[in-house]
Structure formats: structure tokens, C-alpha cells
Amino acid sequence: MTRRRKASIIFACLLCVGSTISAVGQNGLDRNDDARRPENYRSQNFLIHTDLARDDAEALLQKMETMLKIISRYWGAPNRKTIECYVVDNLNYWPAGSLSPNVRATVSQGGITIAQGSRRGNQLNMNAIVYASNSYGTPQHEAVHAYCYQTFGVTGPTWYAEGMAELGNYWVEDDTTVTAPDYVIRHLKRSPRKSLEEITDYRQRTGDGWQNYTWRWALCHFLVNNRNYYDRFRPMGVGFLTGRPSTFARSYASRMKELKFEFEFFVDHLDRGFDIDRCVWNWKARYREQKGTRPVVARIRADKGWQPGGLKVVKGQDYHYTAEGTWRTSKDSEEAFADGGPTGNGKLIGILFNDYELSAPIELGTDGTFTATGDGQLLLRCSDAWNRLSDNKGTISVEFMSAKDD
Ligand SMILES: [Zn+2]
């Protein structure tokens, strides 16, 4: 006797209303151009119904294709099915009956992805349709959800689904710098800090306000780009999408202190152009107290953030330092010694790390003596704006000797 295995019916919808800053008023409702009707546009992976002008619609398709290429490569699963999207620029151009009242209400403030289909064993048959306002990258955001539904049947826990959708919206391939828009950065810098537990709380629901989306983006951007953590992030995410159980807390259990420290550092220094890869923390570096006649030597690059100075300092102890070499902090600036150029940029500075806390920065220079304000590991860098390290050039070599008591 054979028993037919029933297909399970899946109906899912991700409502991202409120994920974008109120889009009402952004649509140019009183624009004077000729009334348009929604038209259809196609590209390799998308079918778009939109009232956008042809050039804008073609440009959007191109952006969506680029986004899809990046995310499908990241998840290692090519898109197999056309993704259908309704992209609304101006609701007045959509005839009565062309969109349901619910969809009309939704696309004035954000977007929604509605998926339905079935799963029979390994056979997934899902169709997802995107309805999105043409503001704040909502079409790209929703298209990430649609790709996940059609490819995996699910989108993962809210923090992951929404963080990765926002990431897809701003992602530039092979670029580890921050490319999020200013309102996202401003919110993250000004609002009270959210803990990792709060950001990844599994009880969260989608559509709970754009502010929460900024934190989800920040964590996903950080974990996708930081070499200390991305090796675990990808399998964890693929686990979310393919039904293998995994959680954030479990995936990073052995590295949570480091992760928390680096994530907070990222949020503290967040700015357009901040480059995670240049500022990644070196947790494997060795530090030693300077004793005898052998100095502690470090080589410090101008184009990176805090780098290990190799010196373990003791509170109250004086240390002599001598720096050799030159560097510069922009393409056109003059070569400077470690005491910096006339602008104040390019000075060698230090900081003490102790038990995941940082001291205030320590001003150093070409040579001199400093007194350790606490115990800790000494890290060094070339002073410059955190989001403008990429055009820096040069390396300086520094030697440290403990000052002898007389
Ligand atoms: Zn969403």
C-alpha cells in the first residue's frame, strides 16, 4: 500500500510597513508630468509592474539584478524563478482595481512580500510577489525576501531576514565600507545603544519601525564583513534558511566577548566610508613587558585602525619611544613623521586595551616618554578620521623601552 505524502501548504507574508521612514509625500503626488499607467518591464530575473518612467524602471531593474547577483552568490543558491514586483512611485497612476485596498495602504508606507506555495519533501514550489513603494530602496529590500521565499521557502528569524534585506539594499560587492544612507547612520549614532541580545531577540516581528531595521542592518553588515566572525555567520544564516537549527548565541558562544567589543567599536565609529576590514581587531597578537635591553618593536600602517603595539604596560611605569619613517593621511598631503603634519593628522597615537575596555587615547609622536595610566596592551595608529583611512600611505616603525628608575 502506498501512502501519498501530502504537500504542506505554505502561506507567508512579510509586511515591512514602517520599515522605511514615512514614504508618504516622497512620491511627488503633485508632479506635473503626464499621467502614466503602470507598464511591465523585464530583466533576466525580474518582472516589474511600475508607473516609473522607462529610464527609471530600467535603472531599477539593473540595481535589482546587481543586488540579486550579490545575495545569491553569498547564499550559494542561484535564483531559479522570475521575481515579480509591483513598484509604486505614484499611487494616483494606478487605476482603481489594479491593487487591492490593503496593498494600496501598504505601499504608501513601505512594502510587503506575499509568498504562497507548497513543499513536498525536498520539492519546494513557492511564488512570492513583491509590492513596494519606490522609496528608500524598498523594492530591493522586498526582493531579498522574495528570493529567500522562492529559493528556501523561509526568510529566517526577523533580525536576520530584515537585516539581510537591508544589507541587500545597500550592498556593494567586495566593498567592506559602510554604504548605508545618512538617516540610518544618524539614527545609529544618536539613539540609545541596543545590545546584541535585543537586536537578535527571536520574539521580534517584522514591520516594527525603521529604527529597529537600522540595528539589524548594522549587525548583519558587521558580521558579513568582519573576518573574525564571517566564517560562522554564513553557515548560521544558511542554517536559518535550510531548516538546520542554529542560533546567534550558540554560533558565537565562544567568541561573544570579542564580538560584543568589536560590534560596539563599530557602532561608536560608524560613518559613511568606515571600513570594517581596515579596523578589524587582531586578537591573536602577542604582547610582552619590556625588560632588559631588547626593545619592543612595532610596525604601524597609516591606512589601518588600532594595531598591536606589542607592548604590555604596567600602571605608573614610564616608557620611552622612538618612531622612524614617514606616512601620509591623504593622496595630496605631505609625508609626515610620527609627530604629524600641520593639520594635526598623521600623529602616532596609542590606546590601552584591558579586559575589553579601552583607555583614553594617548598622544605619542616621533620620540618621547609616556606614563601608563593603567595596566594593559598598547595599540597604536596614525591619527586620522576613521572613515578616511583608505587613502593613507606609509608605515612607521616604533621602539619601546621601559624607563629605568634612578
Ligand atoms: Zn522586510
At 148-196, the pLDDT tens digits run 999 999 999 999 999 999 999 998 888 889 999 999 999 999 999 999 9
185: CA distance to ligand 1 center in Å?
A: 19
13: CA distance to ligand 1 center in Å?
A: 10
Residue 8 has pLDDT above 70, yes or no: no
138: CA distance to ligand 1 center in Å?
A: 8
CATH of region 8-276: 1.10.390
Using pLDDT thresholds of 50, 70 and 90, give the confidence band for residue 324.
very high
How many alpha carbons lie under 13 Å from residue 111 in its C-beta half-sphere?
A: 29
Using pLDDT thresholds of 50, 70 and 90, give the confidence band for residue 26.
very low
In the predicted model, what is the mean pLDDT of residues 257-285?
A: 97
**What pLDDT, on a 0 to 100 scale, did the predictor assign at position 173?**
81
- Bin 56: left if φ > 0, else alpha if -120 < ψ < 50, else beta: alpha
**What pLDDT, on a 0 to 100 scale, did the predictor assign at position 272?**
95
In the predicted model, what is the mean pLDDT of residues 78-85?
A: 96
Cα–Cα dist 178/276, whole Å? 8
φ/ψ of residue 58, rounded to 5: -65, -40
Cα–Cα dist 150/143, whole Å? 10
Nine cell digits for residue 136: 528608500
19: CA distance to ligand 1 center in Å?
A: 7
**What pLDDT, on a 0 to 100 scale, did the predictor assign at position 47?**
98
Residue 216 has pLDDT above 70, yes or no: yes
**What pLDDT, on a 0 to 100 scale, did the predictor assign at position 405?**
62
Cα–Cα dist 12/127, whole Å? 10
146: CA distance to ligand 1 center in Å?
A: 10
The pLDDT mean for the chain works out to 91
Question: Which segment of 12-21, 43-52, 225-234, 312-321 scores lowest on mean pLDDT?
Answer: 12-21
In the predicted model, what is the mean pLDDT of residues 364-393?
A: 97
123: CA distance to ligand 1 center in Å?
A: 25
In the predicted model, what is the mean pLDDT of residues 54-67?
A: 96
Domain boundaries, the chain: 8-276, 296-402
200: CA distance to ligand 1 center in Å?
A: 15
**What pLDDT, on a 0 to 100 scale, did the predictor assign at position 29?**
46
Evaluate whether the domain defined by 296-402 bears CATH number 2.60.120.430: yes
163: CA distance to ligand 1 center in Å?
A: 8
35: CA distance to ligand 1 center in Å?
A: 30
Residue 406 has pLDDT above 70, yes or no: no
6: CA distance to ligand 1 center in Å?
A: 30
166: CA distance to ligand 1 center in Å?
A: 8
214: CA distance to ligand 1 center in Å?
A: 12
369: CA distance to ligand 1 center in Å?
A: 54
Q: Which residues contact 210 (CB under 8 A, 6 or more apart)?
A: 18, 19, 20, 21
225: CA distance to ligand 1 center in Å?
A: 21
What Å distances lie between residue 360 and 310, 356, 357, CA to CA? 18, 13, 10
CA dihedral 14, 17, 23, 29 (to 10 degrees): 80
Question: Which segment of 11-25, 167-181, 209-223, 289-303 scores lowest on mean pLDDT?
Answer: 11-25
Using pLDDT thresholds of 50, 70 and 90, give the confidence band for residue 25.
very low
In the predicted model, what is the mean pLDDT of residues 83-109?
A: 92
270: CA distance to ligand 1 center in Å?
A: 23
Residue 395 has pLDDT above 80, yes or no: yes
Alpha-carbon 340 to chain mean position:
32
Nine cell digits for residue 330: 591623504
Percentage of residues in the chain having pLDDT higher than 70: 91
**What pLDDT, on a 0 to 100 scale, did the predictor assign at position 293?**
94
161: CA distance to ligand 1 center in Å?
A: 7
205: CA distance to ligand 1 center in Å?
A: 10
Using pLDDT thresholds of 50, 70 and 90, give the confidence band for residue 30.
very low
294: CA distance to ligand 1 center in Å?
A: 57
Where b means 16+ CB within 10 Å and e means fewer, 72-81 reads bebbebebee
For the full predicted model, state whether its pTM sits above 0.85.
yes
Neighbours of 361 (CB within 10 A): 14
